[in-house]
Structure 1
Amino acid sequence: MTYDERTARVALTRVLEPGDELGGRWLREFGAVEVVRRLVEGREPLPGASAQRWEGLLGRASRMRPERDLAEAEDAGARFICPGEPQWPAQLDDLGDARPTGLWVRGRPSLRIWALRSVAVVGARACTEYGAHVAATLGAGLAERGWVVVSGGAYGVDGAAHRGALGAGGATVAVLACGVDRPYPRGHTELITRIAEQGLVIGELPPGEHPTPSRFILRNRVIAALTRGTVVVEAAYRSGALVTARAAARLGRFTIGVPGPVTSGLSAGVHELLRGDAVLVSDAAEVAELVGDIGELAPDRRGPVLPRDLLDPGTGRVLAALPARGLAAADEVARGAGTTTDEAVGRLYELRALGFVERHGDGWKLTRQAMISVRGDRSGR
């Protein structure tokens, strides 16, 4: 068949593995049409390819059937986009020669538009209940704030983040390490189908292709490059989620971590990130403040306002000078507060009117409610 640039790239998704930087260099230097021509003719090896590598590529090239792949993708509700096209997310170009040859996209929205305001939420497959809860809450909170939640469609944190976004009626993207017509893992067939209906399912591999361990790892660079930042919820030291976070850091994206118990091995990798340049967050508002535009601020964090916090400083000092138990004379209170007896008496009457103290003869004592407040404040210090 006659190949144009787009059809040639479709064909090459069956030949070049995701993240193949040598293949990316050929595409940059010669263009997809010329790369396909040399593979079809088989006489003129491309520079940098060993004899063994070239033989392997020729074997794969014999399986190129771009028209069939496009037809199968269409049957699955998918389409193909490649660099330079209107729906191509330009931030993927930051991957250089490791940039995808093209992307298979299942779902109606524009990937380019969605990627402009997206955040990755990734983590352990065998996550704890805490990790699943945090991921789902983050997914829902980000979706409610108009952010697209991107993850890998896997069990554990990935699935919880997707479900949180879907449950909030928001947008989510699953980046697969296999053909977009083959939901993986199989246990997430219903979830991935729902994502394709409400959001987007994308991948670098053509229809029918299966995942491999290396494809999972290489898929993570797309998640990192596509989004403004990567949030890691739970991850052990050898977690693939850390690969995504480190790729995000190399690309100049935000690297973000949610802390867990220091006794949990599933949080050890996150804590290692937080000891470096990653930013600690606890909820979606803090993520949005970090990766968002000016004005997307998280609310101020502070404890509850106690009645004694509303007292002016002089009255507060008099209240603090009263003992936790028993009576105190006005002159004793004055000494403790560093003021005169007359001033202390005036403040004590003010405190009595506010319900903080009681007078018993010549002595003063804290009311029961004030005693609880003062004790709690002192123990907090």
Structure 2
Amino acid sequence: MKFPCSICIHLFKLVSVFHLFAVSGEALLAQPDTITNTTAGEQVLFPLQNQGWEDQYNVTFRSRFPRTIEILTWKSNNPENLHFVHPLYQHRVGIQRDCVMLYNVQVNDTGEYEIHIDYYGTKMRKHNESTFWMQVFVFRLFVVYREALRIRPDTVTNVTAGEQVLFPVQYQGTDPYDVNFSLKFPVPFKILKWKSNKPEKLDIVHLLYQHRVGIYGGFVVLNDVHVHDTGEYEIHIDYNGSELKNRDQITFRMHVFEPVSQPVTVILGNCVNSPNITLSCSVSRGTNYTIRWEKMSLSGVLNETYGTVLVIDCATEVEQHVYRCIAENPVSNATSDPVTVSRYNGVNLKGKRNHLTVLVFLGMAVLVLIIGYYLWFTLSSSSTAKGNWSQ
């Protein structure tokens, strides 16, 4: 078959793009004679079930339902080129790793597919056929957990990063309706659109919320919330029935926090060698947190001081006190190991300072032994040398 020059140039461009495809580690392998559920935007691999790789063969990949079209033709004796690609699948289909690869699948790719292999070897073979069914969804089929947090309208809800949250869809009547879920602040944009007469798919999903948002059981479900999901959201419902209704509109405010880690304290000075002690406190993880110190005696908490640094006057430490650093935000709190301070005993951080002191003394003792051995060895060598010289 002869092709016009323009088509030849176009095929050359297609081959160049095809060889730039990369099969990601998350590509989904379709199984013959079964239904493969996948998500829009993913890569799907259709395996070639060849019966004799030593023979030459042609591969034809086609759609059988809902429409019958030939998608791709490839020849093993000319592996660097695709002999034919349907215009609807330009730059989205190719042969790689003994598979037909369909890249960036769409909802309208849902259907039945067939791989047909014709052999042209020395052995007499007819052909080989494999059938696949693929269902493409706009969003992932996720599970709503019992621990999912329900967001209340017209109030601020504090949420821990990583949680699943539910925004209730409060619609009225039995008429068909459309649900629009949008972010209003800090940056207004539409996140999701869903129609009750097409419940199996989402009409619109914003790129920032791909695979994290969906409609389930009368809720807009948002999975794995992030700190930057903090903001004001809105659900508005448009009714499409015969009766004229005003649209419903609900506003939600959500503040997402990262939980705090256990505080770490650092001690500078002691009451034995200095007039005061400085305690500092820090956390390695957490957002919008506050830090405070608790001063305790045997009778309980004496006072609290806010701030990361606490300066203790040794002159006022008549009796022994225990200090604790507490970090907290609206969704979490964590406490440091206790720090014990007294005028006579200095500082003890739950025994850790004592262990460190022992290690320091051991290190100094080893160093003294090494220096003593070196001096002894030097003097001994010097004495021996003098004795030999006098002889």
Q: State TM-score, norm by structure 2.
A: 0.20
Q: State TM-score, norm by structure 1.
A: 0.20
Structure with the larger RCO, 1 or 2 (CA within 8 Å, 6+ apart) = 1
More helix by share: 1
